[in-house]
Amino acid sequence: MNLIFLGPPGAGKGTQAKRIETLHGIPQISTGDMLRAEAQAGTALGQQVRAIMDLGGLVSDEILIAMLGERVDRPDCARGFILDGFPRTTVQAEALDAMLASRRSRIDAVLLLLVDEAALTERIAGRYTCARCGTGYHDHYKQPRVPGVCDVCGSHEFTRRADDRRETVVTRLDAYRQDTAPILPFYRAKGLVHDIDGMADIDTVSRAIDHALAQAKAAGTVTES
Ligand code: AP5
């Protein structure tokens, strides 16, 4: 099962993709996480992309397409994958289609998280993650069960993303409107898009996604791995 999560910054793509990863045993592929890992490691690529990301712009299609092609060929993707943050431009969407067709594969469903943009800044500004295992939290909407202790690995260290400043969120939203939203007709024409109300609470959004996937499976458009 090959899935795409689409939606603006802060829509909940990562939150829901991680849950589907655990539920279905297929990997979440977050291109944002991959780029941040490169930047953190100080690789040549990481140095090249860090400034772009910190300002909220998009990294080049060429870099992203090469990175994704290498990632989906890894053995853990044999039963499928969940894309979170890719594709983000029409060029990326078309390249993904061609890449999968050459591997006799395809996208099974696109889960579009519909959100009120006014709420996104608050969601993003309140977000933080465990520094050790990457589990995501929020100051108001998703706090650890024991304050200051990660639910998953017990770490006491948390980090906030450099691009989660309010002024950068504006640029990221502009990039979504200008470059990413235009790819929706491409997937709608294929009948793959499931509209999900991303403004509901996290558990309600999860249930809506499960319902959409069950419907797609019943209709034969999603083949469960
Ligand atoms: P990326 O890491 O992909 O960031 P993004 O798309 O901006 O998305 P976010 O991670 O900010 O949000 P999300 O939708 O995953 O929300 P989350 O679940 O965390 O990309 C970062 C940068 O990398 C880009 O700006 C670009 O520079 C570069 N890049 C990456 N991919 C690229 C590509 N393909 N091409 C070019 N450049 C690329 O949720 C947010 C918060 O809200 C969390 O705290 C969460 O707990 C909370 N929350 C989630 N759901 C709910 C809910 N239903 N109710 C209340 N709170 C909620």
Give the residue whose CA is nearest to atom 18 of ligand 1.
12
**Residue 219 confidence (pLDDT):** 81
Beta-ladder partners of 83: 4, 29
Tokens 């592929």 -> residue: 29
Say if residues 95 and 208 touch (Cβ distance below 8 Å): no
Full-model pTM: 0.93
186: pLDDT strictly greater than 80 = yes
180: pLDDT strictly greater than 90 = yes
Average pLDDT over residues 19-41: 96
Say if residues 105 and 197 touch (Cβ distance below 8 Å): no
Mean of all residue pLDDT scores within the chain: 94
Measured from the Cβ of residue 80, the count of other Cβ atoms closer than 10 Å reads: 20
Give the residue whose CA is nearest to atom 34 of ligand 1.
86
**Residue 221 confidence (pLDDT):** 76
194: pLDDT strictly greater than 80 = yes
For residue 184, the surrounding DSSP H or E stretch is helix 184-188
208: pLDDT strictly greater than 90 = yes
CA distance 167 to 197: 26
Residue among 61, 138, 151, 201 to mutate when testing ligand 1 (max atoms within 8 A of CB): 138
Of residues 225 and 5, which shows the higher confidence score?
5
Average pLDDT over residues 191-195: 96
Say if residues 198 and 114 touch (Cβ distance below 8 Å): yes
One-letter amino acid identity for 77? C
Q: Is residue 27 packed enough to be buried (19+ CB in 10 Å), middle (13-18) or exposed (0-12)?
A: middle
225: pLDDT strictly greater than 70 = no
CA distance 190 to 96: 14
At residue 224 the predicted structure's pLDDT band, cuts being 50, 70 and 90, is low
Of ligand 1's listed atoms, the one at least distance from the Cα of 5 is 14
Burial letters 175-187, b for 16+ CB under 10 A, else e: bbeebbeebeebb
Active-site residue flag, 88 = yes
CA of 153 to the centre of ligand 1 (A): 22
At residue 218 the predicted structure's pLDDT band, cuts being 50, 70 and 90, is confident
Interval 76-135: pLDDT, tens: 999 999 999 999 999 999 999 999 999 999 999 999 999 998 889 889 989 999 999 989
Active-site residue flag, 103 = no
155: pLDDT strictly greater than 80 = yes
Interval 47-64: pLDDT, tens: 999 999 999 999 999 999
Average pLDDT over residues 33-42: 94
Q: What secondary structure, in 3-state letters, does 28-54 show? A: EEEHHHHHHHHHHHCCHHHHHHHHHHH
Q: Is residue 121 packed enough to be buried (19+ CB in 10 Å), middle (13-18) or exposed (0-12)?
A: middle
At residue 167 the predicted structure's pLDDT band, cuts being 50, 70 and 90, is confident
Say if residues 63 and 27 touch (Cβ distance below 8 Å): no
Ligand 1 pocket, CB under 6 A:
7, 9-15, 30-32, 35, 52-53, 56-59, 64, 85-86, 88, 92, 123-124, 126-127, 136, 138, 141-142, 163, 172, 198, 201-202, 205
CA distance 16 to 24: 12
